[in-house]
Amino acid sequence: MMTADADHADLEPGLAAAARRKRHQRLLLFASLASVPFFINCQPSEAFLTKYLEEDKQLSDDDLDNHVWPADTYGSFAFMLPAGLLADMVGYRAVIAVGLICRELTRLILLYANGVNWMTIMQVTYAMATAANSVLFAYVYRVVDAQDFKAATAVMLCAYHLGNAVGSGIGQLMVSCWGQRHHLRSLFYASWAFTTVGVVCFVLLYPRPPSPGGAKGRRGRGAAPPSLVGLLRTRGVRATLGELRAMYAGGRNTLLWTWWWLVGYGASYIILNYYQTQFLDIDPHARGLGVVEIVIELLACVGAVLPAALGPTFVPRHTHLLAFATSFAAGACFLLSTYLTSSVYWSYVLNAVAAGVFAFQRSAASFVIASEMAAVGTKHNQLPPSMRVQADGSGGGACGAGGTGDGGGRGVSGNNAHSAQSTASTDLTEPLLPGGSASVDADEEPRYAVLFTANTFVALFISSMVQVAGQTRGLDTTGYFDVATVMEGVVCIGLLLAPLVLAPR
């Protein structure tokens, strides 16, 4: 007995040291993941962009509303889906790297080019960088365990917004100490420097996903599946559509948050381009814009971490209520900001609250959808190999070979591209798709980037159509706020109808 107790006592220090090592590695992983979103969004110039374009580049409100800002929406829409498909084909890291290069180009154009055309091109390069953001945020689910999805999502989004808060603080300090007339341009040099630091962090510090062979025991982690483009080329349209449907088979919460993403995300994206213009429309001499931006971003930080702070099951259990309440709150903020114009401070407060709400929605939607995608893979992985639906018909591992350094490259085996029929009962495997077709092997890595970019693509398509209609009708800033309010109302109506649409049949 004494010997057993002694052996147990000897083991305790080793276990404690291993636990400390694991916590240390987890913190280092989170810190390295947070470094890129923090630095690329640490932009001292951000709060002063509209003022800079109007005063330094001599652009008018009409130029901004009808040429420059719409280019961001159109560009993000045009590049979003290709970004996800490229991540699926050549790897997440390659697409993220292209996005970072586009950020560098954006900074150069802002500093050294002039005129409406160049500023429109600047928004296009920024749109390319924004499209890569969806891949950047999806990348986190490839390098952390599924039980850390919620915390990692909070860390990434909080770092992104905290970077903007810190950048705005630096910008406001520079303006307050040295005056904006002579140093407004210096803010954009500072932003360029921080962007470059983010690029360096990506090159030197960013983690790579573990190889499939070394990822044993991780939920939703597996070999790289065939790319959708390769799937379309070798197996045809029906199989590709079946794979797209399977991405949304995670559960009811995936469908609810996807509905918000398609419409509500687009509403907030429109406001993102116009809230600074609303400030200046209400008070052309508004001061302290850097402080306002700090408050907005700090509230966004709170919104981003709140889903993780609410407990392990609160958000998934109350998704329907949370999606409805937050969408209603965002729409109310947009609407009230167009009526309470006696003081610009009303606009400050309402837009800050709306930003916090949007960050909460984005954080909750991202980790819930990613967790349900991983859970589908977990259920499937627990089945005997003979009962799994295989993409290559071999009863073995996933087809597809080759790849990039991040494990994101995809290929399709020409000899094994046909699909096997499933003989397992539908209550044990992931659901069969309409028409009896099944998805490719769920033992493979979920297509996080494709789903995120596909949702954002539809959201930006809706935003783009709104921009086209707005330009045709000559909408001003208030008009765009009204449209965003209506879009949030559509989200709420859809959520009210969801129990009828998603009811079991």
Task: Give yes or no for a contact between 491 and 325, defined as CB atoms under 8 angstroms apart.
Answer: no
pLDDT at 180: 54
pLDDT at 196: 95
pLDDT at 326: 95
Q: Which of 156, 149, 135, 219 is nearest to 451 (CA)?
A: 135
CA 112 distance to own-chain centroid: 30
The model's pTM is: 0.77
Q: Which long-range contacts (CB under 8 A, 24 or more apart) does 172-178 make?
A: 172/47, 172/288, 172/289, 172/290, 172/291, 172/293, 172/294, 173/290, 174/44, 175/48, 175/290
Which tokens sit at 478? 């208030």
Which tokens sit at 256? 């609810």
Name the amino acid, one letter, at 68.
V
pLDDT at 306: 93
Cβ within 8 Å of residue 21, ≥6 positions away: none
pLDDT at 14: 65
pLDDT at 352: 93
Dist. CA 175–CA 179, nearest whole Å: 5
Kindly report the three-state secondary structure assignment for every residue of 313-348.
CHHHHCHHHHHHHHHHHHHHHHHHHHHCCCCHHHHH
Cβ within 8 Å of residue 371, ≥6 positions away: 146, 149, 150, 316
pLDDT at 12: 63
Dist. CA 415–CA 395, nearest whole Å: 14
Cβ within 8 Å of residue 437, ≥6 positions away: 238, 239, 242, 419
Q: What's the chain's Rg over C-alpha atoms?
A: 24
Dist. CA 168–CA 130, nearest whole Å: 19
Q: Which of 107, 121, 41 is nearest to 74 (CA)?
A: 121
Cβ within 8 Å of residue 284, ≥6 positions away: none
pLDDT at 349: 92
pLDDT at 457: 87
- Crossing angle (nearest 10°) for helices 180-205 and 2-40: 140
pLDDT digits (tens, 9 = 90+) for 337-390: 999 988 888 999 999 999 999 999 999 999 999 988 887 754 444 444 444 444
Query: Residue-wise pLDDT tens for the chain (505 aa)?
Result: 455 555 555 556 667 777 777 788 888 889 999 999 999 999 888 878 888 888 888 788 788 877 887 888 778 778 888 888 888 888 889 999 999 999 999 999 999 988 888 999 999 999 899 889 889 999 999 888 888 899 999 999 999 999 988 988 888 788 777 765 556 788 899 999 999 999 999 999 888 876 554 444 444 444 556 667 766 777 777 777 777 777 777 688 889 999 999 999 989 988 887 888 888 888 887 777 778 888 898 999 999 999 999 887 899 899 999 999 999 999 999 999 999 988 888 999 999 999 999 999 999 999 999 988 887 754 444 444 444 444 333 333 333 333 444 544 444 333 333 333 333 333 333 333 333 333 434 446 788 888 888 888 888 888 878 878 887 888 888 888 999 999 999 999 999 998 887 766 5
pLDDT at 49: 85
Burial track 460-491 (b if 16+ CB lie within 10 A, e otherwise): bbbbbebbeebeeeebbbbbbbebbbebbbbb
